Amino acid sequence: MTENNDVMPDEMLELIAQRFRLLSDPMRLKILHQLQSGEKSVTELVNNTGASQPNVSKHLSTLRTHGLVKRRQQGNMALFSIAAPFIFDVCEIVCDSMKTEWEQRSSLLGQPN
């Protein structure tokens, strides 16, 4: 009665959720979007995002811990770049879904689910 028929262990759900959680913050998306055009230093990201330096560093640390970005030291500074290109595929799907939904709503208009 309380069993889960389909096999989908809680552990895995946890991991998937965790990955989505990484993408569920606007500032992190902003950073990732910045990195899409290529490797960037922390300072560059700070300037381009408008976030504080500690904030950017922390986000980068989080993203790196979970394997979404990689880090390269060059002289005085740290250069970050995308390590998991799948992010953009995912984002594209989500963007498309929003676009589709938007068009549907503005054309049909009304009728809630």
Partner DNA sequence: TATCAGAATGACGCTGCAGTTATATACCTC
Partner DNA sequence: GAGGTATATAACTGCAGCGTCATTCTGATA
Interface positions with DNA (CB under 7 A)? 21, 24-27, 41-43, 46, 51-55, 57-62, 71, 73, 75-79
Let me know if 92 is exposed, middle or buried by CB neighbors in 10 A (0-12, 13-18, 19+).
exposed
Closest separation in Å from C-beta 59 to a second copy: 13
- Least Å distance, CB 75 to a second copy, is 18
Q: Is 106 in the site for a second copy (CB under 8 A)?
A: no
Task: State the pairing for strand pair 69-74/40-41.
Answer: unpaired
Cα 72–chain centre separation: 20
- In the list 42, 78, 79, 91, the residue contacting a second copy (rule: CB under 8 A) is 91
Tell me if 103 contacts a second copy by CB under 8 A. Answer: no
Separation CA 101–CA 25 (nearest Å): 22
